[in-house]
Structure 1
Amino acid sequence: MEPFRLAALSDRLPASAGQTQGVDPGDISRSWQRCRMAGLAPEQNRVDQPHFSSAERRVAAERRSTLITHARPIMDYFYGQIKDSGCVMLLSDDTGLLLESAGDLDFCNRAAKVALTPGASWAEDARGTNAIGTALIEGKPIVVNGTEHYLRHNSFLACAAAPLTEPGGKLLGVIDISCDSRRYHPHTFGLVRAAAQMIENRIFEISFAHNTKLRFHYSSECLGSMVEGAIAIDEEGVILGANRSGFALLGLRPEDIGTQEFGRYFGLTMRDLIDMEHRAGGRPLVVHPRRGETLYVSVEQTRGPLIRRPPLSAPEAPKLDALAALDTGDERVNRAISQLRRVLGRKVPVLLQGETGAGKDFFARAIHEAGPRANGPFVAVNCAALPETLIEAELFGHAPGAFTGARKEGSAGRIREAHGGTLFLDEIGDMPLSMQTRLLRVLEEGVVTPIGGKPVAVDFLLVSATHADFSTRIAEKTFREDLYYRLNGLAVSLPPLRERTDLPALINRILEREAQGRQVGTPRLSPELAKAFAEYRWPGNLRQLSGILRTACLMLDDDETELCLHHLSEEAMLDLTTQQCAPKNVEQPGGTLRAQSDAMIAGAVSEAGGNIAAAARALGISRNTLYRRLAAMRTH
């Protein structure tokens, strides 16, 4: 393709391009230039565009559930204002994927012909110049009307869109109102910007419902209005988040969130703020951040007096969050939680080590939910479950048609999906060596390069988990030593269930979850079953315990309040009872639970003179189970 010339572009642009009030005329010009450079043709066939299947839409909606939950009520309200005007209101994520819609049936049917429906991607490099995709790139509200659309089959549309950002400044998506270009009204641009601001303010208020907030404006009459600036601060005065007006009024940047104190922008210390707020008696504070400026500030507190710290000797109140929910009394688990708390919000990579089933996945999600990235995505990848031929595309993504069998619309990849949130790499020790090199580069540079695509900046918290012995893997040259040190910002070892001292509390916690809705309440363990559980070695750890209790609860009658041995599956009952009955001083091959169980079965069959029915009765299991175990023993 010959080099693109902006002059040639201007010849093709409609005379009205960028003439909408409040829209920069250069927005459309830049967009058309990008479309040309991306290889799009104005006459491009609409059927070539990507569209998610129903299953893919559900997965995408689950990943953006927080955005949808906060935006849907605002969409319903604004659609009530434009109903019967021949419009459709749309919500997209930060890639341009349409998530939700609300609109008049007659226009929706016409819009569906150009895939202006949930599941379609309206990224600019796929659909050409359009309000959604172009607003994402330009990072500001925009209108694309009629022939300003790059693809000619979209020229019947008029679309106004505004980007949505979270309180930390990260782009969340776009809200859009589209209609027939002949029915477009300039007020639509104002409506969509107001809708975006209401959604962002709603996200801000819910995200910091329990934090001290400062509301401010250069006009006292604007306090309490939709245009007021707002920031949330912690007890040290560090800014935790801001609404759109807060970013604009203070000149905040996304990188300032979590790193800068409010005093830098207000010309106050925390002590000044406390004293002024005390003297004001509920009236707005008047501050002078810079010479000649007057800022009116309202302080909103939700948890008692502002920064009234207890004496240093007073114990800090425990935080009731997702990590606290995992603390059921074991000293080693409590120590692990305390260590994790110290790095929350610090972007320190966490490495969770422990046996299979010890709860590493529960801890990974709790780290995410207890930290400042809780509103972002939590993306979990099991490195051991992915075929080596697919793990590269799954993790790093790929450009459209990058390889044989690749999705024609391309894939962002799990790393990019975790942008702004947490990436959990389970069984990281089993990652292929070639992928370890690529992952190390991502961690060092903060950039991921899809297969056949261009580098993209990413920001996520990395949590890894493994049962592997890294020292052995490194010595065997199957795991990179430099990657290990990148992963090991904080290494936390989780104890196996057999070594934990909080088994009764864990059992109660699981039973409460599994028995929800039972009229007779949470069941308890019979003394016999409690003794068997206490003496069992639990080779499958928490995963095995949860599975056994889940099945046992399903076996309870409606009026039963006690779990007994006979409520367990035959396999679980056999494992528990054979371990109880096995002689403690008998050495078994390898000392394993399976070896003890096999010895118990062989002894019962021998004592019954080979009578399978009699041996099964003596063991308390069915003949089918006994036959199955005997067959397995013969193959050992």
Structure 2
Amino acid sequence: TENVCGTNGLGTSAFLKRPIVVHGREHFFARYNNLTCVAAPIFAPDGEVAGILDASSDCMSRQAHTQALVAMAATQIENGLFREQHRGHILIAFHNRGEYLHTLSAGLLAVDKDGQIRAANRAARVLLHGLPASAGRRFADVFRARFSDFVDEGRRKERQRLEDDVGSQFVATIENTRQFPMAHRAPAPGPTPPKDTAPPFVSADPRIAAIVQRVAVAAARKMPVLIRGETGTGKEQMARHAHAASRRTGAFVAVNCAALPDGLIEAELFGYTEGAFTGARKGGSQGLFKEADGGTLFLDEIGDMPVTLQAVLLRFLDDWTVRPVGGSKREVDVLLVSATNADLDDAIAKGRFRSDLLFRLNTLEVTLLPLRERSDFAEIARHLLQKIDPSIELSPDAIERLARRDWSGNIRELRNVLARLSLNEDGPMIDAAAVDVLVGPMDRERPASRPAAGESLPTDLHEIQRALVLSTYAETGHNISKTARQLGISRNTVYRALRGKQD
């Protein structure tokens, strides 16, 4: 224990209840200074610490994979304890991304024959973070599907080999059956890019058309591309366009950087060999980087990438080689496309993102315009509605009314609104009245802020500008980037206004 032996792998991990590495002189007692100890707690199904798994070696023999191996083994043991305790229940594995379904990061639920959730493992609790505690709830309340239908579907799919199905929302499997989607399905992108590299989205705005062309040229030259833009502006669609334009014959593999479990990053990305750890899948796992070999690796939400993953990615970009856990190095050929809606400059200033990694990712950097600033709004709206219901059209006044809205959710939000309008409309034409009934006559323009009673108006030009910046800064929830975009000024101008300095 830490109170007896001071800082050490076993004791400190037990105290902190998280994985830890204690290297050399970080040990409290000098007699352990020649050791590197990697430890991870093992949690019982009731949430209590059941034990500590530790791998110790002399400092000179330590390996980068040891921490990943220990964390994977601890998770494997936890899942084994969970299965053992719930032998009498139906066990369901699920994940919001199909490629993680048969990995250690999948969630596990124990459900009784009546469809009531009895327990959830740690990964399941993380994946269901937006819902109330799952234990004690009914399966249908959490997943919006009848439990009996879910079981019947699983048994039906067990008798078929539908290996091309990829769930676009939560994907789940009843243990010992094949995976199947709990919501609607979307076909996996084919391995061969289309002959026509015209983008599968509207780019009538000249500024977007220029971006499309630049991305296509960079992708053909295998240059790393960084796509910035607000949520819902079509960053993944642009990444898929880069993949098609590159003429690469491999797969398009999307990785949500924020969803990768911190302790299992290397195993998920680089893979592992058969027998690398207890419970490893037969044949091992090739990993996401190897899966994208010859194709495109799309790193989404890089602004939320854990620092651990940033170091791993930098190492990969040095020589474009991967080393599976328990295996040997091998080189891969991938087109790297990244995307973020985060302010990376601010993240770098605060130490949450590495500037040297950004320089590797943004050989070409493009920023997708928010929907409210695009000149092709009408074309986008008609294109989306055509895909939703080809029998319905938008009237010019309906488009004008929709174009007034701020669309903070951008194209994704517009698609959802159009889908609701298509359900509510009886005739072949959606007009302005239908738009006002559903979403209200909300106008993008807002009145300028007025001074409070007794407060004098600023007369100096710089003070007027500063007052406008401060009022907009408050309206945007103290978001510097949004303030700058809304006023059409630089972020530095916003910083100067906040400091009270003149422009």
**TM-score if structure 1 supplies the norm length?**
0.39
Q: Identify the structure with bigger relative contact order (alpha carbons < 8 Å, sequence gap 6+).
A: 2
TM-score, normalising length: structure 2: 0.49
